[in-house]
Homo-oligomer: A and B are copies of this chain.
């Protein structure tokens, strides 16, 4: 069933039917009723490809998903997607996901943009000096970046959380508790958030004349296994750190296992603060020793970015171009005063 058939059925022109469907004012209310009724009865749905071709709008936002054999999927991706979806469903938008080899993201993004399948782009996993920014700017298609790109001019639309501030605050809390030997368990080194979190820690320490010790910084994928390994490493250090900053509750999971296995007590022998993306599968408050965290909902960020993206496509008023969300520092039981030597 297509427009032509439907309009013949109704004895109307395609024009009028199309207008009735799209809410144009110049069509008689009675006719509109009739059309709507017929749509219900026939189950007619406009062909999106044709609509897309005619209007240039697709009602979709595009994103690339890094993937490859052996490339580990990322919990955070799914959670973020849920946020985007939550908003998209309200506007009858959908996503076009372009899977791409992690080495090929720039090209994949360009392909996606040019494909004509999407109205706007969402970009994540930002890196320092990210090469995608230049490409995006040249594209004349709306986009929003999740995160920022350290080292690039901040003249692009983004939504980020204050990673540096979060880890600065977390570090200060631990300093106030008397800790002096710190370690940072971070995400992959090239990612923007990792860079900023590191800076937050370093600058808080520097204010007290301290620094991260030798071997007290790890960069790894954020899985529990990597958390375990990193923590085991920290615990073997001659000057064992007493305060751990951790980029994810997933990492913390493994880290805490290592602490337990070493016979140490979390919150007493070792203090730990993790960043909490509010993943539904892992609640810091239900850890056996509830975790002190810096918190910011990944999902909420997804919702917000979808709002901005969809709003821009629909020309629904101006949105702030750049948003930096503060994180909350929530103190629970995994942090305590430095143990007496």
Which residues of chain B are near A53, meaning CB under 8 Å? 47, 49-50, 53
A95 contacts B86, C-beta separation under 8 Å = no
A228 contacts B97, C-beta separation under 8 Å = no
Within 8 Å of chain B (Cβ to Cβ): is A114? yes
A82 contacts B97, C-beta separation under 8 Å = no
B49 contacts A58, C-beta separation under 8 Å = yes
Listed stretches A19-27, A29-37, A71-79, A123-131; interface member: A71-79
A224 contacts B81, C-beta separation under 8 Å = no
B97 contacts A94, C-beta separation under 8 Å = yes
A99-119 interface code vs B (CB 8 A; 1 in, 0 out): 111000000000110111100
A61-92 interface code vs B (CB 8 A; 1 in, 0 out): 00001011101111101110110111011000
Within 8 Å of chain B (Cβ to Cβ): is A215? no
A209-221 interface code vs B (CB 8 A; 1 in, 0 out): 0000000000001
Q: A89-B68, A94-B99 are in contact. Are A81 and B82 (CB under 8 A)?
A: no
Which residues of chain B are near A81, meaning CB under 8 Å? 65, 73, 78, 97
Q: A49-B58, A94-B99, A97-B97 are in contact. Are A225 and B67 (CB under 8 A)?
A: no
A49 contacts B299, C-beta separation under 8 Å = no
Q: A86-B67, A96-B60 are in contact. Are A45 and B115 (CB under 8 A)?
A: yes
Within 8 Å of chain B (Cβ to Cβ): is A222? yes
Listed stretches A145-153, A236-244, A278-286, A323-331; interface member: A278-286
Within 8 Å of chain B (Cβ to Cβ): is A301? no
A254 contacts B286, C-beta separation under 8 Å = yes
Which residues of chain B are near A74, meaning CB under 8 Å? 78
The 5 closest A-B pairs by CB, nearest first: A78-B78, A85-B99, A73-B82, A67-B85, A72-B280
Enumerate chain A interface residues (CB-CB to B < 8 A).
45, 47-50, 52-53, 58, 60, 65, 67-69, 71-75, 77-79, 81-82, 84-86, 88-89, 94-101, 111-112, 114-117, 221-225, 228, 250, 253-254, 257, 260-261, 280-283, 286-288, 299
Could you list 5 A-B pairs, sorted by A, with CB under 8 Å?
A: A88-B99, A96-B96, A221-B280, A224-B283, A225-B286
Additional pairs, 17, CB under 8 Å, beyond known A49-B52, A84-B99, A261-B288: A45-B114, A47-B53, A48-B115, A67-B89, A72-B281, A86-B99, A89-B100, A94-B97, A94-B112, A95-B95, A224-B281, A224-B286, A225-B283, A228-B286, A250-B281, A253-B253, A257-B287
